[in-house]
Amino acid sequence: MEDLMDAYGSLDSVAMVTLAPELAGSQSVVRELCRRGITVSLGHSVANLSQAEEAVHHGASFITHLFNAMLPVSTYTL
């Protein structure tokens, strides 16, 4: 979350963030963004199903670029 704040400041005018749920620390970022009323979308990702489900469990509610330049589903570790 600190990196996000360093890059974008207070986030007061941010309504939606797209992030890759497989990145280290992303689940705590999902929780904090949702707590602040910011919509979290999953994207730019090579996450497996359990990583994506965990992000949804923590509040992510959209998907950006579904299957656009992503690996085929058959290559994901389920």
User: Mind listing the pLDDT tens digit for each residue in 12-67?
Assistant: 999 999 999 999 999 999 999 999 999 999 988 888 888 889 999 999 999 887 66
Give the count of domains, the chain. 1
Q: What would the 3-class secondary structure string for 2-54 be?
A: HHHHHHHCCCCCCCEEEECCCCCCHHHHHHHHHHCCCEEEECCCCCCHHHHHH
Give the pLDDT band of residue 78 (cuts 50, 70, 90).
Answer: very low
Domain extent at residue 61: 2-75
Q: How far apart are the C-alpha atoms of 50 and 54, rounded to whole Å? A: 6
User: For the whole model, what pTM was predicted?
Assistant: 0.81
Answer whether 1's CB lies under 8 Å from 28's CB: yes
CATH number, domain with residue 22: 3.40.50
Q: How far apart are the C-alpha atoms of 61 and 55, rounded to whole Å? A: 9
